[in-house]
Amino acid sequence: MLNVNIVYNPYFVETSIEVNGKAVEAGTPLWQLCQHERLQNWIDKFFPLLKEEYREKKFAFKFRGMVQDSEDFKDALNQFCNVQSDVQATVDVDSKGLKTDRMTSLKELFESGKRDDAPFAELFNSQEMQAAFDRAVDPTFEANVIATMSSGKSTVVNSLLGMDLMPAKNEACTATIARITDDDHAQNFMAQRFNSEDEPISEFVKIDNETLTKWNDDPATSRIEIVGNIPTVDETPDCRMVFVDTPGPNNSRNEDHKRATYEAIQSKPLSMVLYVLNSTQLSTNDDQQLLNKVCEVMHEGGRKAQDRFVFIANKIDAFDPASGESVTKALKNVRDYLAGFGIEHPLVIPASAYLAKLLRKKKGGYELTRKERGDLQTLVDLFVEEPEMNMLNHVKDRISYDCHRRLEKRLAAAKSNEEKAEILSGIPIIEELLNDFLQKHALPAKLKDAVDSLEKVMMAAKIAEKKEEQLAKGQADRTELLDRIKAFNEDKKRIEQGEKFREEVRGLKYKESISTRNKVNAINAKKEKLCKDIAEELQGDDDVKPNEARRITRMALSRCRDMDADVIVSLETALQEEQMEVLKGLRGKYQAFVEKELKKSFPADSAAAELQSCVMQMPSVEEMIASNQTTKRVCVGSHEVSTSKWYKPWTWGSSKTVRDYENVDVVDVEAIAAELCDSVRKATMTHIDEFRAQAANVLEEAKKQVLAVMDEIDNKVKAIQKDLEAANKDKSKLDAQLADCRKQIEWINSFKKDLAEILSV
């Protein structure tokens, strides 16, 4: 039997593995699999690789980590054992829940570094580090609500709010983007609306359903920012929940809305997507484009993507088990429907948003109509008395054990049928899943980013440590060290090589990465498939009546616009990845250059080489990107919008896509299809060309940034030499520098200890 001990820390993204009491060797496939990767990214590959490497079929696992990660560990192990019938495995878990004060403690620790008597106060108080830290600990957490017509999306949002705030009609009614930010201290819901240019077109005022309906119906309104106390959500220093209500794919008022929907799906990995489906009416054309995109993102994203997407099978209250209508069958239909889009093992939560909304309205003191009072009593009886309407039973094998346990505990503690019915309605399941995602993915990622923002302090402390080692040596050793560093700094050949390297950086030309090339190829393939589909659908329809022509054209046009929104968001994401790759490449080139020069100038592993290497260490790519990031505040709360837009908005020419059909008897829709496909191809090519131009600009900006950092490093190297010269000439200055270094080392050791305690598992 193989004894395997695993410790996983999601905050530092560190994994240690011992097999039969011996640490897995660095460089082995098993070690490489887990290095600096989140558990959810590697756990499904871990067990097959372990079996292959050790040729063993019996395992005893011990896992230490957070509760949510241990659930994923056990789930992956069970799946592996189900597939590998010859494998026997036991697992012993030592797991902890999330310490709710981690973020608060980290903020306090950061503030301690800003005090006047702290040795790195200048760094902690710098605008750059403060901005990076603030971005990392920003508590905003988005849950994006997406749906098609008549799915009950507004009712879902209102059930989460506990009141009838968002407009709800029988037809698709959300024409704007509404962001609803939780503020537990708010006395009322307040809101402000913005136009398509992101300019405010109202004051920040008290809001109600009637005003929101007027704003929503006004074509001038593009986005509404709402702030108020959401009673079902507890605001903490770690989390400030924001529900984002988006228009349906065929009800977007402008192209920005479509892009916002695709950004929610594709570009915000630390947000959740609540995809609302009408469980009584599936297979709408509106779903097709969006669900294809969801499938693509879920296939690429692994377990984290699986956790991000929650499919809400709404209107479950429409089923009557007494009449032979089965909720179990309805849920199977939903899963089969999603499987038709390639979405495997979707997390489908059955829900009656209507029931939850009525119960919460009553609890909140809002008046119910006569119809609502009658519906409420009927639905409470149905959900409490009919076992088939227990939504917890339908999901117990599809949500984590811990999540299900919490809900069952709440159900057991319920003191009335109305309290029971609220839990059984399914909406509380969704709220628990939001909390699970927050603890499993969002908060650990934010804490990791916050730790990474301290990199400059850690680098400065490392320099102080190496410097102290050398200053503490005798005069002869210090003199030798100084001579070597002076020789290195003044070496004409080395200076020439440095300038040559700078010229090499300046002369670099943009070359598309393999990953970007693959994305562009995928975009072109999707474009051609869309054109082929449109051409086939309209093939042979030379003469169509005007009303039918309008309907067909609008459907095709909507698909083209969806494609365009998808292309823009995909290329925006690719541009961000390209920036990362470019900086990684330049940083790698520089560090290789430094290593080569140090090897030529210093003996291997010499004290001088170590000190010089620390001083000449370039900041991480993440820090360089963060230092260049600029945002502007656009509304209350913590939502920020980038000031830069690289794409050229594409508006479909009315002369090409909308014709005056009233004056003709028949329309040649084949010709329309040809024009649409031509527009799709031209627009996609324009976006790709613009992307490539901007990617080349990214390289130019990265080159400037790297060259500026090199100049900063040169200044640090000179400063170290100057300090060593002063210390070698004057004992009082030597003693002062030693005291400073030791103070810095003592402080950073204490800081690291406190940091490790905050982020321990």
DSSP string, 630-670: -EEE-SSTT-EEES---S------HHHH---GGG-S-B-HH
Q: Which residues pair with 17 in a beta bridge?
A: 6
- Look at residue 543 in the predicted model and tell me its pLDDT: 66
In the CATH hierarchy, which fold is given to the domain comprising 138-448? Rossmann fold (3.40.50)
Name the residue with higher pLDDT: 106 or 663. Answer: 106
Predicted TM-score (pTM) of this structure: 0.84
User: Which H or E run includes 452?
Assistant: helix 443-452
Q: Which residues pair with 147 in a beta bridge?
A: 276
Displacement of CA 500 from its chain's centroid (Å): 40
Task: Output the average pLDDT for the chain.
Answer: 86
pLDDT above 80: residue 253: no
Residues 134-138: contacts with CB under 8 Å, at least 24 apart:
135/449, 135/453, 135/626, 135/629, 136/446, 136/447, 136/449, 136/450, 136/452, 136/453, 137/103, 137/106, 137/107, 137/446, 137/450, 138/446, 138/638
Q: How confident is the model at residue 365 (pLDDT cuts 50, 70, 90)?
A: very high
* CB atoms near residue 738 (< 10 Å): 15
Rounded distance between C-alpha atoms, residue 162 and residue 360, angstroms: 5
* Closest CA relative to residue 471, chosen from 716, 718, 728: 728
pLDDT above 70: residue 36: yes
Q: How confident is the model at residue 170 (pLDDT cuts 50, 70, 90)?
A: low
Q: Which residues pair with 88 in a beta bridge?
A: 58
Residues contacting 552, CB < 8 A, separation 6+: 537, 538, 541, 544, 669, 672
Determine contact, residues 205/191, Cβ cutoff 8 Å: yes
Type of residue at 23: A
- Look at residue 542 in the predicted model and tell me its pLDDT: 58
Q: Picking from 176-180, 546-550, 584-588, 649-653, which range would have the lowest pLDDT averaged per residue? A: 649-653
Residue for token digits 């002869």? Answer: 476
Q: Domain limits of the chain?
A: 2-96, 102-135, 138-448, 454-629+649-729
Backbone angles phi, psi at 648, to 5 degrees: -100, 115
Burial zone of 550 (CB within 10 Å; 0-12 exposed, 13-18 middle, 19+ buried)? middle
Determine contact, residues 337/282, Cβ cutoff 8 Å: yes
Cα-Cα-Cα-Cα dihedral sign, residues 442, 447, 452, 453: positive
pLDDT above 70: residue 738: yes
Name the residue with higher pLDDT: 543 or 112. Answer: 112
> Can you say whether residue 268 is alpha, beta or left, with left for phi > 0 and alpha for psi between -120 and 50 degrees?
beta
Digit-coded pLDDT (tens) for 44-64: 999 999 999 999 999 999 999
Q: Picking from 91-95, 253-257, 281-285, which range would have the lowest pLDDT averaged per residue? A: 253-257
Rounded distance between C-alpha atoms, residue 181 and residue 191, angstroms: 10
Name the residue with higher pLDDT: 323 or 190. Answer: 190
Type of residue at 700: E
* Closest CA relative to residue 694, chosen from 554, 576, 566: 576
pLDDT above 50: residue 637: no
Q: How confident is the model at residue 558 (pLDDT cuts 50, 70, 90)?
A: confident
pLDDT above 80: residue 426: yes
pLDDT above 90: residue 81: yes
- Look at residue 560 in the predicted model and tell me its pLDDT: 87
Residues contacting 228, CB < 8 A, separation 6+: 161, 180, 181, 182, 183, 186, 188, 189, 190, 207
Rounded distance between C-alpha atoms, residue 479 and residue 721, angstroms: 11
- What Cα–Cα distance (Å) separates residue 488 from each residue in 260, 324, 491, 492? 53, 86, 5, 9
Kindly write down the DSSP assignment for every residue of 583-607, as one continuous string.
Answer: HHHHHHHHHHHHHHHHHHHS-TT-H
- Look at residue 506 in the predicted model and tell me its pLDDT: 93
According to DSSP, residue 369 is labeled: P
Residues contacting 64, CB < 8 A, separation 6+: 5, 6, 7, 8, 93, 94, 95, 761
Determine contact, residues 161/289, Cβ cutoff 8 Å: no
Task: Provide the pairing of β-strand 177-182 with 240-245.
Answer: antiparallel
Residue for token digits 């095709």? Answer: 556
pLDDT above 50: residue 659: no
- What Cα–Cα distance (Å) separates residue 577 from each residue in 147, 269, 330, 515? 29, 14, 41, 9
Average pLDDT over residues 81-85: 91
Q: How confident is the model at residue 317 (pLDDT cuts 50, 70, 90)?
A: very high
* CB atoms near residue 683 (< 10 Å): 21
Rounded distance between C-alpha atoms, residue 242 and residue 227, angstroms: 9
* Closest CA relative to residue 428, chosen from 162, 53, 72: 162
pLDDT above 60: residue 654: no
Rounded distance between C-alpha atoms, residue 571 and residue 698, angstroms: 13
Name the residue with higher pLDDT: 630 or 726. Answer: 726
Exposure b/e, 401-426, CB count within 10 A at least 16 = b: ebbbebbeebbeeeeeebbbbbbbbb
pLDDT above 60: residue 460: yes
Rounded distance between C-alpha atoms, residue 109 and residue 750, angstroms: 11
Q: How confident is the model at residue 249 (pLDDT cuts 50, 70, 90)?
A: low
Rounded distance between C-alpha atoms, residue 540 and residue 46, angstroms: 54
Rounded distance between C-alpha atoms, residue 225 and residue 238, angstroms: 21
pLDDT above 60: residue 633: no
Name the residue with higher pLDDT: 470 or 169. Answer: 470
pLDDT above 60: residue 589: yes
* Closest CA relative to residue 130, chosen from 457, 431, 616: 457
Q: How confident is the model at residue 515 (pLDDT cuts 50, 70, 90)?
A: confident
Rounded distance between C-alpha atoms, residue 141 and residue 159, angstroms: 19
Q: Which residues pair with 228 in a beta bridge?
A: 182
Rounded distance between C-alpha atoms, residue 647 and residue 641, angstroms: 15
* Closest CA relative to residue 352, chosen from 422, 434, 283: 422
Cα-Cα-Cα-Cα dihedral sign, residues 25, 26, 28, 34: positive
- Look at residue 274 in the predicted model and tell me its pLDDT: 96
pLDDT above 70: residue 37: yes
Rounded distance between C-alpha atoms, residue 177 and residue 175, angstroms: 7
pLDDT above 60: residue 631: no
Task: Provide the pairing of β-strand 2-9 with 58-66.
Answer: parallel
